[in-house]
Structure 1
């Protein structure tokens, strides 16, 4: 009779532990969810590191010379030098109107 109760107790304990493993807090589903979040955050970190590297390269270019500042001013602000002629080419759809 005593061994029967020990077996029943062990089976109940095993069932409780299995239920917690599959459905409780910190279960396998939670683990898989956390793994997905980790991989997403790692990808975001890679993207941010790339962006930081580009910004550092821009800073280095700006610190090293005026050529990069001139290039940036021309590209982003549309500035022209003294003595240069600016030509604006309009698309065909705007010429006919």
Structure 2
């Protein structure tokens, strides 16, 4: 007893009643998605600004650190800035101010 019954009923009459609310819901979802996208773009812009400021600060700090290292090298008692010529004589380019 194998009976094939077509279980595909057409329920179009239920969809007709819900067409209007679904459009309103879709509009609400679109507005919510649009607002979310705007918020994400604003956050991304804020992060980009913070990143650029952080890069500027890092650049300034590295320049200051290099200048400080150079100053320490100039003031050191040992000949940190200097060299040896081809005859083996040590010389300093800059000496410490006294």
* TM-score in terms of structure 1 length: 0.53
What number of residue pairs does the alignment pair up? Answer: 68
Distance 1:54 1:69, change over 3 A: farther
Q: Which has the higher helix share?
A: 1
Runs of 4+ residues over 4 Å off in structure 1: 67-70
| Structure 2 portions without partners, runs of 5+ | 1-12, 76-93
Matched, 1:15 2:27: yes
Tell me which of the two structures has the higher relative contact order, counting C-alpha pairs closer than 8 angstroms and 6 or more residues apart: 2
Indicate the RMSD between aligned Cα atoms, in angstroms.
2.6
| Structure 1 portions without partners, runs of 5+ | 71-80, 82-97
Q: Which has the higher strand share?
A: 2
* TM-score in terms of structure 2 length: 0.52
Query: Which structure's CA Rg is the greater one?
Result: 2
